[in-house]
C-alpha cells in the first residue's frame, strides 16, 4: 500500500510505501529532509506531524522522548506511514549543498586491501554514475547468512565527487560486527557484486566561502575528509586554507600518509598533520622514519598547541563520538562558534 506524505510548509507531496520510511521516500523523490545517522539515534530528522497515523519504528527513546511522541513528533528516518501523513519540516538545504536524490546502485569490488591496522580500503566500480557532495555516505546492503533480510551498514565516501563511477571507502573492523567482522573482513572479495543506496548525510564541505577549514578525523573518520580535501584542491572547489588533523595511536593506525603528503607538497593551501597518540619521536626515529613528519599526542592536544585562536574558521569533525566531543570542546575553547562546527559521528556497529 502506498500513502501520500505531504511536506509542509512547501506543500510537496511524495508517495511512500507502508514499509518505507518517510525519509527514504522523500530523499528518493529529491525532497531533501534534514538527517544525519538515518538509524534513529541522532535526532537530526525530528519533525512535527500535523496529520495522519505512523508507526514510529525503531526511534531510540533518547532521540525521541515520550513527551515528544505525545506531542506528535516523529523521526522521519524511522517512521512509516499507516495512512496519508502531513509533516512540517525545515527544508532549508545549505546552499553549498547540491541535492542528489537517493538511488540504488550495484557495483563490483575492484580493490579490497589492508591499509592500516584492522582497516581496509574498499573500492567499488558502480554500474552507472552517481552524484554526491564531498563528505556524504552510502548505505550498503549486507548479506547475512543467518537472517533472510540483508542488513544496512553505512560508510562514508572517501573519493571525491569528480570520480562518478568509482567509490572508495575506508572500513575499520569491529570484532563481532556483522557488516565488518562478518562480511568485509571475512567473505567479501575482489570481483564480488555489492548493492548500496545513497548519497546520505549533510556533513558537507561548505565551498561558498574561503574560511580556513580545520578538518579533524580519528581512524577511518578521515574518509569523508579525504573526499573534501581532494574535491577542494584537485577540482579547485575551495578558495581557503585547509588543515587536516588525522589521529591514530601509532603509524600502523594511520593510512594514506604519503598521499596526503603529496597533496601537501602540491597545494600551498593544504596542511597535513598526522598525529600519533601512543608513539614518541624517539620510537619513530628508531625505525628510520623522520620524526618531524608527525605531531605527537591526541589530535586535540596538537590543535591546542598549533592555534591560540581559531576565530573565523570552520571545523569539520569525524570519528568516534568521544573524539568528536573532545575536538568540539577544543575548537570552542579556541573561539570557534558551534554554528561553524560540523560533526559526523561514527558509531561502532553491533
**Residues of this chain that bind ligand FES (CB under 6 A):** 35-38, 40-45, 63, 75, 77
- Using the minimum distance from each CB to ligand FES, give the nearer residue, 200 or 245: 200
In the complex with ligand FES, the residue whose CB is nearer, 42 or 298, is: 42
Q: Report the C-alpha dihedral over residues 215, 217, 221, 227, rounded to 10 degrees.
A: 30
- The CB-of-22 to ligand FES minimum distance in angstroms stands at 10
CA angle 259, 134, 154 (to 5 degrees): 95
Q: How far apart are CA 76 and CA 48, in angstroms?
A: 10
Distance in angstroms (rounded) separating the CA atoms of residues 129 and 189: 23
As given in the structure block, the three cell numbers for residue 2 are 502506498
Helix, strand, or coil (residue 285): helix
**Residue 39 C-beta: closest distance to ligand FES, Å:** 7
Please give the Cα distance from 227 to 198 (Å, whole number): 16
- Looking at the Cβ atoms of 20 and 117, the one nearer to ligand FES is 20
Report DSSP state, residue 221: G
Q: For residue 148, give the 3-state DSSP assignment.
A: coil
CB of 219 to ligand FES, least distance (A): 21
Minimum CB distance to ligand FES smaller for 38 or for 277: 38
Rounded least distance, CB 241 to ligand FES, Å:
31
Find the shortest distance in angstroms from Cβ 35 to ligand FES. 4
Burial label for 337, CB within 10 Å (0-12, 13-18, 19+), is middle
Question: With respect to ligand FES, which residue has the nearer C-beta, 74 or 326?
Answer: 74
Instruction: Between 77 and 318, name the residue whose CB sits nearer to ligand FES.
Output: 77
Q: In angstroms, rounded to a whole number, what is the distance separating the alpha carbons of residues 26 and 28?
A: 5
C-alpha cell at 106: 550495484
Nearer to ligand FES, 35 or 273 (CB): 35
| Nearest Cα residue to 44 out of 55, 66, 59 | 59
Closest contact distance (angstroms) between CB of 306 and ligand FES is 32
How far apart are the C-alpha atoms of 108 and 195, rounded to whole Å? Answer: 9
Smallest distance, Å, CB 87 to ligand FES?
13
Amino acid at each position: 500500500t502506498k500513502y501520500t506524505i505531504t511536506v509542509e510548509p512547501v506543500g510537496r507531496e511524495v508517495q511512500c510505501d507502508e514499509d518505507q520510511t518517510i525519509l527514504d521516500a522523500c530523499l528518493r523523490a529529491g525532497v531533501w529532509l534534514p538527517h544525519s545517522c538515518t538509524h534513529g539515534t541522532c535526532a537530526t530528522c525530528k519533525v512535527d506531524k500535523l496529520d495522519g497515523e505512523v508507526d514510529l519504528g525503531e526511534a531510540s527513546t533518547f532521540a525521541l522522548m515520550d513527551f515528544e511522541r505525545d506531542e506528535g513528533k516523529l523521526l522521519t528516518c524511522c517512521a512509516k506511514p499507516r495512512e496519508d501523513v502531513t509533516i512540517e519540516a525545515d527544508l532549508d538545504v545549505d546552499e553549498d549543498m547540491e541535492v542528489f536524490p537517493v538511488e540504488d546502485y550495484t557495483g563490483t569490488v575492484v580493490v579490497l586491501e589492508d591499509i592500516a591496522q584492522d582497516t581496509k580500503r574498499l573500492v567499488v566500480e558502480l554500474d552507472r554514475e552517481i552524484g554526491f557532495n564531498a563528505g556524504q555516505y552510502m548505505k550498503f546492503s549486507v548479506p547475512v547468512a543467518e537472517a533472510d533480510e540483508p542488513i544496512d551498514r553505512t560508510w562514508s565516501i572517501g573519493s571525491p565527487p569528480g570520480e562518478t563511477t568509482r567509490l572508495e571507502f575506508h572500513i575499520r573492523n569491529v570484532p563481532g560486527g556483522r557488516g565488518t567482522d562478518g562480511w568485509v573482513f571475512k567473505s567479501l572479495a575482489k570481483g564480488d557484486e555489492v548493492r548500496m543506496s545513497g548519497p546520505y548525510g549533510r556533513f558537507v564541505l561548505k565551498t561558498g566561502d574561503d574560511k580556513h577549514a580545520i578538518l579533524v578525523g580519528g581512524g577511518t573518520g578521515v574518509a569523508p575528509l579525504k573526499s573534501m580535501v581532494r574535491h577542494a584542491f584537485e577540482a579547485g572547489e575551495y578558495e581557503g586554507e585547509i588543515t587536516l588533523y588525522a589521529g591514530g595511536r601509532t603509524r600502523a593506525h594511520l593510512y594514506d600518509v604519503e598521499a596526503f603528503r603529496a597533496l601537501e607538497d602540491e597545494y600551498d593551501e593544504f596542511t597535513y598533520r598526522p598525529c600519533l597518540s601512543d608513539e614518541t619521536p624517539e620510537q619513530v626515529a628508531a625505525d628510520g622514519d623522520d620524526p618531524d613528519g608527525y605531531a605527537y599526542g591526541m589530535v586535540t592536544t596538537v590543535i591546542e598547541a598549533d592555534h591560540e585562536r581559531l576565530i573565523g574558521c570552520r571545523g569539520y569533525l569525524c570519528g568516534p563520538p568521544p573524539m568528536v566531543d573532545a575536538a568540539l570542546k577544543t575548537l570552542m575553547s579556541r573561539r570557534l562558534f558551534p554554528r561553524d562546527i560540523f560533526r559526523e559521528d561514527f558509531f561502532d556497529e553491533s
